[in-house]
C-alpha cells in the first residue's frame, strides 16, 4: 500500500534524512520502502514523503513503534504534525522513462 506523509520538522530535512538512512534495518522490519522524500523549496522544515508498505500491518507497526518514534523526534520530526493519506495502488512511476 502507498501513502503520502506530510510532516513538520524542527531541525531541517538533512537531519531527518540522515536519521532515515541510519535506521534502514528498522524500516525494513516494517516492510517500508521510501519512494520519495523532500522538503518544500521555501521551507526546509516542511516535508512530504511517498512511502510503500508491503501491508497495512506493516504501516501500523511503523506507526506504533515507540523506539522509532523517539528516534524520529530526536532527528527533528514533529510527530504530532504528521498526516498520512493512504493512496491507491494504481499509480504511475518514472514517466516518461517507464513508457
pLDDT at position 98 is: 61
Going through 1-99 in order, the beta strands assigned E by DSSP cover: 2-9, 32-40, 43-53, 77-87
Name the residue ranges covered by the structural domains of the chain. 2-87
Nearest C-alpha neighbor of 49 from the set 73, 83, 15: 83
pLDDT tens column, 48-76: 999 999 999 999 999 999 999 999 999 99
Does 44 have pLDDT greater than 80? yes
For the record, the C-alpha cell of 98 comes out as 517507464
pLDDT tens column, 20-35: 999 999 999 999 999 9
Q: Which CATH class is domain 2-87?
A: alpha beta
Length of the chain: 99
Does 87 have pLDDT greater than 70? yes
Amino acid at each position: 500500500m502507498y501513502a503520502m506523509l506530510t510532516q513538520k520538522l524542527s531541525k531541517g530535512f538533512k537531519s531527518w534524512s540522515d536519521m532515515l538512512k541510519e535506521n534502514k534495518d528498522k524500516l525494513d522490519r516494517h516492510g517500508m520502502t521510501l519512494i520519495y522524500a523532500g522538503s518544500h523549496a521555501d521551507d526546509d522544515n516542511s516535508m512530504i514523503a511517498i512511502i510503500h508498505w508491503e501491508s497495512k500491518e506493516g504501516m501500523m507497526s511503523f506507526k506504533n513503534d515507540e523506539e522509532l518514534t523517539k528516534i524520529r523526534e530526536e532527528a527533528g520530526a514533529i510527530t504530532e504534525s504528521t498526516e498520512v493519506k493512504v493512496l491507491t495502488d494504481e499509480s504511475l512511476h518514472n514517466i516518461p522513462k517507464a513508457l
